[in-house]
C-alpha cells in the first residue's frame, strides 16, 4: 500500500503535466497541427507531445474493428489521450454532426456521406477503400454462385438500402452488371444486412469485404468481378468545431501511416 | 406548473416538427407512391395486429385479473416484459423463434415451406408482440377495478355464466378494452425496431411508415418530416375518433 500510494498520485500529476504541455502546444500559434514542432514547445516526442485530453471519433459501422484497434495504438503512442469511439451508419453520423454532436473527427464510409457533413468539417482525406462481396451462410444453402443469383426472386436476398453507402455501392454494381436485383429486404446498414446472413435468414447479401472477414466462420464469401465498379472511398475529416483538433490531426496522421495501413489491409481494406 | 411542464415536454417537439415542415412540398411528399404504399401497409398490418391482440389479449387480461392459478404473478410479469424490452431485442427474439433457423421457424420451413420473415405477416407478429401488453395491462386493470360481486349477484339471480359475461362483465369493462385497443393500435402503428429486425424492410411488403421515415431521414430530412407529420396526423385522428366513439359512447 505504501508503495502504491505515491504512484497513484504520480499518474494524475503526469496527466496534468501533459495537459499543460497540450495547452502550451495549442497556444504556440501556427504550426501546432504538426504536434510538437511549434517554436514555443521545447519538448521532444520522447518526453511527451502536445496531444492530450479526450478525442471523440465518430466512425462508420464498418470501421468498428479497425478503429478500435487503432485507437488502442493511438492511446499507447499518446498516453495523455483518451479516445472515445462511436460507430454508426455514416449518414446517421453525418446527421448527428450537423445537429451539433460534439466530436473531433468523422470517418465516413463514402464520399457522399462525408459531403453531407461538409458544413461542419475541414477538407476530408481518403484513408482506405472497401469493395463489395457476396456473403452467404456457411454451406451456401441457396447455392449462390455469382452476382446473377441476386436477381433470382426464388432466393431470399438482403441488400443495404440505397440511402446508405453500402446500398449505393450495391446499386451501382448491379447496374453495371445489368441486373435487376430481387431483394426481400433493404436493411438500414451493412451490419444489419450481414446479421441477416449470419442468422441464416437470407441466402445471400451484398456486404463489404471487411465485414465478411470480420464475421469469420459465420459466413462464407463469394467475390465477383463486377465489384471493381463500386469501390467505396473512406474519407476522414477533422471537424471545424473540434474541441481537440490537435489530437484529431494526430489521429489522421496515424490513419495515413504505415502502421494503420497494415491494420486496415489485414481487415480487408485497400489502402487510401 | 409540473402539469404544464409535462404537457410542454410532450407537445413542444411535435410543434417543432410542424414548424419544420416543408409546407410547400407537403402535398407532393405526402401523396408520393412510396408514402401511400407505406401508409396503406401500416394501416392494414396495425389493424390486423390489433384484431389479433383483441382475440388473445382480452382473455389473457381476464385470466390475469380473475384467475386463481399458481404462478399467475410470474405470468403477469412475463407478459409485460415486452413493455420494457427494447423492440430491437424483441425482433431478435422473434427471429430466434420464428426465423428460418428459429426454434419453431425451422420446422415451419421444413414441413410447410413457410418462412415468416420478410412477409407482411411478420410485420403483424412484430407489432402484436410489442403492442399486446398495452391491451392486456389495460384489460386487467379495468377488470380489477370492477367489483366481481355484481357478477355474483347476476349469477345468483339465475343468469348463466356466458350470459353474465356478455350482459354484465363485458359492458362494464368495454371502456377499458377500448382504451387498451386504441393504445395497442397506436403502438402497432408506431412500431419500428422489432419490425425492422424481424420483418426486414421492403417497399409494399414490410416497409411500414416508421421504417419509411427512418429511411427518408438518411436521404432527405424534409421528406422524413413530411412523412412524420402524416403519421402523427393519422395517429391523432385515430386516437380522437376511436376514443370519442367507443369510450365516450359506452359511458354515455
What are the grid coordinates assigned to A116, written together? 453531407
For the ranges B33-42, B96-105, B108-117, B192-201, the lowest mean pLDDT is seen at B108-117
Chain A residues with CB under 8 Å of B202 CB are 183-186
Specify the pLDDT at position B127: 97
Chain A residues with CB under 8 Å of B201 CB are 161, 185-188
Check the annotation: does A212 bind a ligand.
no
Specify the pLDDT at position B155: 86
Report the candidate in B86, B30, B32, B37 with the shortest Cα–Cα distance to residue B231: B30
Phi, psi of B56 (to 5 degrees): -105, -25
Nearest-angstrom CA–CA distance, A179 and A165: 19
Are A201 and B207 inside 8 Å of each other by CB? no
Residue that wins the pLDDT comparison between A99 and B130:
B130
Are B221 and A196 inside 8 Å of each other by CB? no
Nearest-angstrom CA–CA distance, B73 and A91: 45
A263 touches chain B (CB under 8 A): no
Q: If 0-12 CB within 10 Å is exposed, 13-18 middle and 19+ buried, where does residue B172 land?
A: middle
Per-chain mean pLDDT for chain B: 88
Residues in a beta bridge with A82: A54
Read off the pTM: 0.76
Report the candidate in A269, A254, A270 with the shortest Cα–Cα distance to residue A71: A254
Are B218 and A192 inside 8 Å of each other by CB? no
Chain B residues with CB under 8 Å of A119 CB are none
Specify the pLDDT at position B67: 85
A223, A199 contact by CB (below 8 A): no
Helix (H, G, I), strand (E, B) or coil at B200: coil
Nearest-angstrom CA–CA distance, A70 and A85: 11
Chain B residues with CB under 8 Å of A186 CB are 200-203, 207, 215
Specify the pLDDT at position A17: 47
Check the annotation: does A62 bind a ligand.
yes
Specify the pLDDT at position A15: 45
Q: Which residues of chain A have pLDDT under 50?
A: 1-48
What are the grid coordinates assigned to B221, written together? 430530412
Domains and CATH numbers, chain B: 29-251 (1.10.3720.10)
pLDDT in tens, A228-251: 888 889 999 999 999 999 999 999
Residue that wins the pLDDT comparison between B23 and A83:
A83
Sort residue A204 into left (φ over 0), alpha (ψ -120 to 50) or beta: beta
Per-residue confidence band for B33, with pLDDT thresholds at 50, 70 and 90? confident
Check the annotation: does A90 bind a ligand.
yes
pLDDT in tens, B112-126: 888 899 999 999 999
Domains and CATH numbers, chain A: 4-25+49-129+233-271 (3.40.190.10), 132-229 (3.40.190.10)
Check the annotation: does A238 bind a ligand.
no
- The interface predicted TM-score of the complex, written ipTM, equals 0.78
Amino acid at each position: 500500500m505504501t508503495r502504491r500510494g505515491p504512484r497513484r498520485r504520480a499518474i494524475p500529476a503526469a496527466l496534468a503535466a501533459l495537459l499543460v504541455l497540450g495547452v502550451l502546444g495549442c497556444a504556440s500559434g501556427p504550426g501546432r497541427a504538426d504536434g510538437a514542432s511549434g517554436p514555443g514547445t521545447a519538448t521532444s516526442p520522447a518526453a511527451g507531445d502536445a496531444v492530450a485530453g479526450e478525442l471523440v471519433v465518430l466512425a462508420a459501422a464498418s470501421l468498428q474493428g479497425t478503429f478500435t484497434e487503432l485507437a488502442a495504438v493511438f492511446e499507447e503512442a499518446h498516453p495523455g489521450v483518451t479516445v472515445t469511439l462511436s460507430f454508426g451508419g455514416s449518414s446517421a453520423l453525418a446527421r448527428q454532426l450537423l445537429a451539433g454532436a460534439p466530436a473531433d473527427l468523422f470517418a465516413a464510409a463514402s464520399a457522399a456521406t462525408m459531403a453531407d457533413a461538409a458544413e461542419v468539417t475541414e477538407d476530408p482525406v481518403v484513408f482506405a477503400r472497401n469493395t463489395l462481396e457476396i456473403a452467404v451462410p456457411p454451406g451456401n444453402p441457396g447455392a449462390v454462385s455469382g452476382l446473377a443469383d441476386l436477381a433470382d426472386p426464388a432466393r431470399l436476398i438482403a441488400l443495404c438500402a440505397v440511402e446508405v453507402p453500402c446500398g449505393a455501392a450495391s446499386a451501382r454494381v448491379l447496374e453495371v452488371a445489368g441486373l435487376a436485383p430481387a431483394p426481400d429486404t433493404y436493411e438500414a446498414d451493412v451490419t444489419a444486412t450481414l446479421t441477416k446472413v449470419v442468422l441464416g435468414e437470407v441466402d445471400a447479401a451484398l456486404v463489404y469485404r471487411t465485414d465478411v472477414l470480420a464475421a469469420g466462420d459465420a459466413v462464407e464469401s463469394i467475390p465477383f468481378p463486377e465489384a471493381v465498379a463500386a469501390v467505396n472511398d473512406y474519407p476522414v475529416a477533422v471537424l471545424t468545431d473540434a474541441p481537440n483538433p490537435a489530437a484529431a490531426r494526430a489521429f489522421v496522421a496515424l490513419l495515413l501511416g504505415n502502421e494503420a495501413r497494415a491494420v486496415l489491409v489485414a481487415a480487408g481494406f485497400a489502402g487510401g | 406548473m409540473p402539469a404544464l411542464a409535462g404537457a410542454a415536454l410532450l407537445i413542444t417537439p411535435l410543434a417543432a416538427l410542424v414548424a419544420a415542415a416543408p409546407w410547400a412540398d407537403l402535398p407532393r411528399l405526402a401523396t408520393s407512391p412510396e408514402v401511400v404504399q407505406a401508409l396503406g401497409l401500416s394501416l392494414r398490418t396495425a389493424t390486423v395486429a390489433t384484431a389479433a391482440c383483441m382475440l388473445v389479449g382480452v382473455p389473457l387480461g381476464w385470466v390475469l385479473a380473475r384467475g386463481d392459478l399458481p404462478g399467475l404473478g410470474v405470468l403477469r410479469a412475463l407478459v409485460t416484459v415486452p413493455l420494457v424490452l427494447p423492440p430491437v431485442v424483441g425482433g431478435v427474439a422473434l427471429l430466434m423463434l420464428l426465423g428460418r433457423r428459429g426454434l419453431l421457424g425451422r420446422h415451419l420451413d421444413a414441413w410447410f415451406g413457410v418462412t415468416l420473415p420478410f412477409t407482411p405477416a411478420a410485420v403483424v407478429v412484430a407489432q402484436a408482440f410489442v403492442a399486446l401488453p398495452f391491451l392486456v395491462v389495460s384489460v386487467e386493470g379495468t377488470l380489477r377495478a370492477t367489483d366481481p360481486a355484481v357478477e355474483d349477484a347476476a349469477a345468483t339471480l339465475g343468469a348463466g355464466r356466458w350470459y353474465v359475461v356478455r350482459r354484465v362483465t363485458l359492458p362494464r369493462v368495454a371502456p377499458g378494452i377500448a382504451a387498451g385497443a386504441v393504445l395497442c393500435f397506436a403502438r402497432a402503428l408506431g412500431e419500428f425496431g422489432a419490425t425492422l429486425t424481424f420483418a426486414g424492410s421492403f417497399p409494399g411488403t414490410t416497409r411500414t411508415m416508421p421504417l419509411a421515415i427512418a429511411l427518408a431521414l438518411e436521404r432527405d430530412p424534409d421528406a422524413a418530416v413530411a412523412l412524420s407529420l402524416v403519421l402523427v396526423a393519422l395517429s391523432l385522428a385515430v386516437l380522437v375518433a376511436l376514443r370519442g366513439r367507443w369510450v365516450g359512447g359506452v359511458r354515455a
